[in-house]
Amino acid sequence: MAYANILVSVDLGGTAAERVRLAAGLARRFEATLTGAAACQVPAPDYVRDIGEIDDEDPKFEEKARAMLERARALFERSADTAGDPPVRRAWREALTGPITHLVEQARAADLVVVGRRGSDDPPRGALGAPPGPVLMEAARPVLVLPPRMEPAGGGLRGARIVVGWRDSREARRAVSAALPFIREADQVFVASTGDGARYEGAEDVADHLARHGAAVTTHLLRTVVSDGDELLRFALKQEADLIVMGAYGHARLREWLFGGVTYEMLQRSPIPCLMCH
């Protein structure tokens, strides 16, 4: 597994610039192209109104949407430029459609998608913002979810101490494979299992597999007190981890995504970047 194209969601929220800078740092580190993506939905005409009003109103919607996309592109170029030298290869993709739809479409040509966390207490991102949950569920690509205001003083995400939230599932297996570029360069990897039947999930086998890739790895069986998500976060913070790798679980109901307990907790409140796969 290697990252040749890293796709970053760009909006006009207060954390967008640091997200682009961090994604640019990863693109430089892994010698990948950095692709910025932004989209704005233009409202459909209201056919109840007079047809003359519709003709007059629609160009204004499109004009405002294109102006926002131009601001997003300028933010992307400016933030990528300030991320350091040498400059990374860049591409830009924009569209007049829903941000989720556009990001999922662009993910077809990406190895890693970078998005911002959107918990209930996180700052809003406006019309261009793409919430991570639906992107994670629909893109069929590894998604790196960044908490707000996490950019360290030195810039970038190293992945020096990685916690793998292990559960023997397709999602977790895909997440571990997707994270190998980080895992190979990590100082320490912790394979942690929690919940009923955790001791039978094959964590030792996974640790042996990662050791073959050159990782310094240990296994840990966690005892849940409050919830599995809370226990995994507590463990990651105790180990001073700067990256969590895990599968993501959820299903669609009435056109909304309902997430598993650990997935929901990570998307809502993890202060540590999470690389997740569905």
Same domain, 108 and 171: no
Q: Does a structural domain hold residue 156?
A: no
Contact 122, 245 (CB under 8 A): no
Does residue 251 register a pLDDT over 70?
no
d(CA 110, CA 221): 34
Residue 32 counted as domain residue: yes
What integer is the mean pLDDT of 231-256? 84
Residues 114, 13 share a domain:
yes
Nearest of 227, 206, 224, 202 to residue 215 by alpha carbon: 206
Query: If pLDDT is split at 50, 70 and 90, which confidence band does 259 have?
Result: low
Residues 16 and 135 in one domain: yes
This prediction's pTM: 0.90
Q: Is residue 105 part of a domain?
A: yes
Given a contact cutoff of 8 angstroms between Cβ atoms, the answer to whether 114 and 33 are in contact is: no
How far, in Å, are 169, 262, 264 from residue 250 at the CA level?
A: 13, 10, 9
Residue 266 lies in a domain: no
Cβ atoms of 165 and 277 closer than 8 Å? no
Q: What's the number of domains the chain is made of?
A: 2
Q: Which domain holds residue 203?
A: 161-250
**How many Cα neighbours within 13 Å face the side chain of 15?**
21
Q: Are residues 139 and 188 in the same domain?
A: no
- Residue 262 forms part of a structural domain: no
User: Going by C-beta distance under 8 Å and a sequence separation of 6 or more, which residues neighbour residue 197?
Assistant: none
Q: What is the per-residue pLDDT for 9?
A: 98
Sign of CA dihedral 17, 20, 25, 26: positive
Please report, for the domain that includes residue 171, its CATH number.
3.40.50.620
pLDDT in tens, 214-230: 999 999 999 877 788 88
